[in-house]
Amino acid sequence: MKAKISEIFHSIQGEGKYTGHEQVFVRFFECNIRCAWCDTPHSIGDTTRHYRECALEELMAEIRELWPDCHSVSLTGGEPLVQKDFIKALLPSLKKEGMRSYLETNGILDRHLAQIIDDVDIVAMDLKLPSSTKCRPYWEEHAAFLKVARQKEVFIKAVISGDTTKEDVVRSVELVAGVDPGIPLILQPNYFERKNGALDRCLDYQDYCRQYLTDVKVMSQMHKVWKIR
Ligand code: SF4
């Protein structure tokens, strides 16, 4: 079995709870949705269909080389769970070598997650707000996904754009509170709209969310500030 891989590299995690930690990033090719502001268009096959096919041992050898001093291996994309059969094979190999796995996911493919959750260490889950992404709503999928993800460490990220509506934020809070109000929620002002009201919206929405959830932060996507991958 081989995976379609966009790129493998070492960098610093730029968003979420583990911002600032060194990681090996394995960027899986292709995604199951199309967000309006996708920041990795090369990984979803829209700009180019550039990827390489990588066998498990080949990938592990590259991860090993990049691993020293890293906190974890980020399985990112695209949407890594599109290739869940490969990930199911990869996770035990990471665990065997003492490498933590960190799954960055759009939080939609709950049945795929259920098949691999036993071997995942950390789930960094996106909430895709329809007013931000211009995609259809995924509330039911997100709720089902979160119920599976909370078997392990999970935190949630939501990008807030100038278009993000309060209605979507209210729905998000209901969703998270309905599963576990202690799950951390991180509101991320869209980097390209930070001077266009996105940061103020984040701060307003944070006040609202804190009434129902115990851990709500506003954090920028630092890799965009630092201009790193
Ligand atoms: S889920 Fe992520 S990779 Fe997929 S289209 Fe949206 S931003 Fe891009």
Which amino acid residue places its CA nearest to atom 8 of ligand 1? 38
User: What pLDDT score does 191 carry?
Assistant: 82
What is the whole-number distance in angstroms between the Cα of residue 38 and the centre of ligand 1? 5
Residue range 48-89, pLDDT digits in tens: 788 999 999 999 999 999 999 999 999 999 999 999 999 999
Residue 105 pairs in a beta bridge with: 125
Q: Give the residue with greater pLDDT, 199 vs 17.
A: 17
Angle between the N-to-C axes of helices 56-66 and 84-96, in degrees from 0 to 180, rounded to the nearest 10? 50
Please name which of 219, 133, 211, 218 lies closest in space to residue 176, comparing C-alpha atoms: 211
What is the whole-number distance in angstroms between the Cα of residue 212 and the centre of ligand 1? 28
Band of pLDDT at residue 226, cut at 50, 70 and 90: confident
Q: Considering its fold, how many domains does the chain have in total?
A: 1
Mean local confidence (pLDDT), 8-33: 97
Two tokens, residue 21: 């930690």
Per-residue DSSP letter, 20: T
Mean local confidence (pLDDT), 32-37: 90
- Alpha-helix residue ranges (DSSP H) falling in 67-157: 84-96, 110-116, 130-133, 139-149
Ligand 1 pocket test, pick from 7, 32, 37, 40 with the greatest ligand atom count within 8 Å of Cβ, gives 40
User: What pLDDT score does 56 carry?
Assistant: 98
Question: Are 160 and 132 within 8 A, CB to CB?
Answer: yes
Ligand 1: residues with CB < 6 A are 31, 33-35, 38, 40, 43-44, 77-79, 106
Supply the CATH number for residue 215's domain. 3.20.20.70
What is the whole-number distance in angstroms between the Cα of residue 36 and the centre of ligand 1? 9
User: What pLDDT score does 38 carry?
Assistant: 87
Residue 47 has pLDDT above 80, yes or no: no
φ, ψ at 71 (rounded to 5°): -80, -40
Q: Which range (63-77, 136-150, 215-229) has the least confidence?
A: 215-229
Q: Work out which ligand 1 atom sits closest to the CA atom of 32.
A: 4
DSSP string covering 40-91, please? Answer: -GGGTTSS----EEEEHHHHHHHHHHH-TT-SEEEEESS-GGGGHHHHHHHH
User: What pLDDT score does 209 carry?
Assistant: 98
- Which value, to the nearest 10 degrees, does the dihedral of the CA atoms of residues 15, 125, 102, 213 take? 80
Residue-range definition of the domain harbouring residue 119: 2-226
Band of pLDDT at residue 36, cut at 50, 70 and 90: confident
What is the whole-number distance in angstroms between the Cα of residue 32 and the centre of ligand 1? 8
What is the whole-number distance in angstroms between the Cα of residue 110 and the centre of ligand 1? 16
Four-residue CA torsion sign, 17, 56, 3, 146: negative
Which amino acid residue places its CA nearest to atom 7 of ligand 1? 38
User: What predicted TM-score, i.e. pTM, was given to this entire model?
Assistant: 0.96
Residue 6 has pLDDT above 80, yes or no: yes
Determine how many CB atoms are found less than 10 A away from the CB of residue 185: 25
Cis ω before 16 (30° cut-off from 0): no
Q: How distant is the alpha carbon of residue 31 from its chain centre? A: 12
Please name which of 116, 32, 16, 31 lies closest in space to residue 77, comparing C-alpha atoms: 31
Q: Which range (30-39, 54-63, 115-124, 220-229) has the least confidence?
A: 220-229
